[in-house]
């Protein structure tokens, strides 16, 4: 299986990659780098927007703009200037921050929180407590907490069925499946993968055959392809030790793009492995699914 470095992005924490079919480009965030990328893999055109705060996730809107998680706030952004806050999440929990955020098939922004593990000087900070929660932000402005379960680091939102969500808790090395109730809240949590031996689960995407691809961060150096019931079908080795997120892109959604991180790595390691934090392309042998847009529900 062919894997190539397509952009030497040098991201501190590249995350939340999405394919914009209308613009035929990828977008993703660099959390600690305080920037948002857009990259056209066909032409090599690469744009960077530098922000005052840390973006933690990005999704596409039906009107052509973006929806962005910015540490404490869900924001709207129109590819210029600073993202505009529209809703603070957990105003009563100032030690928490936003993390993963993905637009779901219902056209809402599904987003998770966690105890902030980044110090003001961008150095890593211990965040041992499980204080994170899962939320859904609807286009009408409603913010709903989805369950009572506490997460250490929220990651992964994929929908293998209309009534199922698969999500991850990274430090717990676990992927969970929830039933989505008629009111949109989550119940009936089942562990679908626990303690897999390669790194930890970060961002995921789903292919057209219903399998879930997950970036295995923290030294995992690979992607896993998993059935919704937790069976590992394939492991793809990567030339980066901290892959963080993945999305199918290209005109026919046949290329799997992977972001990565270099957060916490030593200067010696980076000198020997300068590709860390880059954007990679995988010829996965399967196609992906079209992405969802905020405000364009099924």
Which residues are catalytically annotated?
202
Q: Do the Cβ atoms of 129 and 118 come closer than 8 Å?
A: no
- Helix, coil or strand: residue 268: helix
Query: How does DSSP classify residue 196?
Result: -
Using alpha carbons only, what angle is made at residue 35 by residues 31 and 40, rounded to the nearest 5 degrees? 115
Distance CA 137, CA 121 (A): 30
How far apart, in whole angstroms, are the C-alpha atoms of residue 174 and residue 167? Answer: 9
Strands 73-77 and 66-70: antiparallel
Buried-state track 127-140, b at ≥16 Cβ within 10 A, e below 16? beebbbbbbbbbbe
267 SS3 class: helix
């Amino acid at each position: 299986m062919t894997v190539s470095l397509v952009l030497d992005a040098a991201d501190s924490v590249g995350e939340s990659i999405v394919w914009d079919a209308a613009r035929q480009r990828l977008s993703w965030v660099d959390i600690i780098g305080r920037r948002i990328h857009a990259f056209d893999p066909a032409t090599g055109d690469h744009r960077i927007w530098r922000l005052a705060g840390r973006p933690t996730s990005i999704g596409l809107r039906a009107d052509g703009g973006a929806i962005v998680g910015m540490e404490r706030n869900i924001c709207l952004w129109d590819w210029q200037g600073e993202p505009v806050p529209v809703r603070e999440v957990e105003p009563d929990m100032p030690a928490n921050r936003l993390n993963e955020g993905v637009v779901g098939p219902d056209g809402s922004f599904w987003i998770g929180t966690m105890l902030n593990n980044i110090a003001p000087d961008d150095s890593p900070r211990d965040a041992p407590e499980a204080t994170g929660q899962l939320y859904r932000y609807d286009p009408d402005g409603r913010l709903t907490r989805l369950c009572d379960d506490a997460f250490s680091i929220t990651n992964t939102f994929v929908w293998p069925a209309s009534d199922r969500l698969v999500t991850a808790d990274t430090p717990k090395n676990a992927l969970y499946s929830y039933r989505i109730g008629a009111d949109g809240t989550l119940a009936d949590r089942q562990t679908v993968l626990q303690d897999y031996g390669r790194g930890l689960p970060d961002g995921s995407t789903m292919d057209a055959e219903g399998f879930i691809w997950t970036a295995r961060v923290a030294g995992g150096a690979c992607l896993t392809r998993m059935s919704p019931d937790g069976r590992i079908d394939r492991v793809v080795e990567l030339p980066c030790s901290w892959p963080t997120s993945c999305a199918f892109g290209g005109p026919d959604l046949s290329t799997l793009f992977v972001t990565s991180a270099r957060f916490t790595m030593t200067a010696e390691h980076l000198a020997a492995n300068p590709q860390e934090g880059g954007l990679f392309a995988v010829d996965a042998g399967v196609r992906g699914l079209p992405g969802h847009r905020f405000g364009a529900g099924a």
